[in-house]
């Protein structure tokens, strides 16, 4: 018998929408990762910085 059997799953009800709390948390985390991917600067090596400086001069 698996560990989760017999345990009630929590659900969120909003009109016709019904979703488990676990799935809701996963979707929320995906949105957080998406926003972080948009706003966080992408790291780059010193070689690229030097190349950029060379391009500008």
Partner 1 sequence: MTSTDRRKGNWTARLGRRLDNAVPPGRRLPDRQPAYVRSWIYVFGVATLAALLFVLASGFALAIGGTTWWHTSAVGHFLNSVHLWSVELFFVCMTIHLWGKFAMAAWRGGRALTWITGAVAFVGSIGTAFTGYLSQTNFDSQWISTQAKDGLNAVGIGAFFNVLNPGQMLLWHIVLLPSVLGVLVVLHVILVRRKGVVPPIDAEPPARELPSRPLESRPAVPSTPAETPTRRQP
CB of 11 to partner 1, least distance (A): 17
Residues 6+ apart with CB under 8 A from 33: none
Q: What are phi and psi of 4, to 5 degrees?
A: -90, -10
Q: Which stretch binds partner 1 (CB under 8 A): 6-14, 17-25, 42-50?
A: 42-50
Per CB under 8 A, 42 contacts partner 1: yes
Q: Write out the residues near partner 1 by the rule CB under 8 A.
A: 26, 30, 33-34, 36-38, 40, 42-45, 47-48, 51-52, 55
């Amino acid at each position: 018998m698996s560990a989760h059997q017999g345990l009630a799953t929590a659900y969120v009800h909003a009109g016709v929408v019904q979703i488990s709390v676990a799935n809701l948390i996963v979707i929320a985390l995906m949105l957080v990762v998406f926003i972080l991917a948009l706003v966080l600067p992408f790291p780059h090596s010193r070689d690229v910085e030097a190349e950029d400086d060379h391009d500008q001069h």
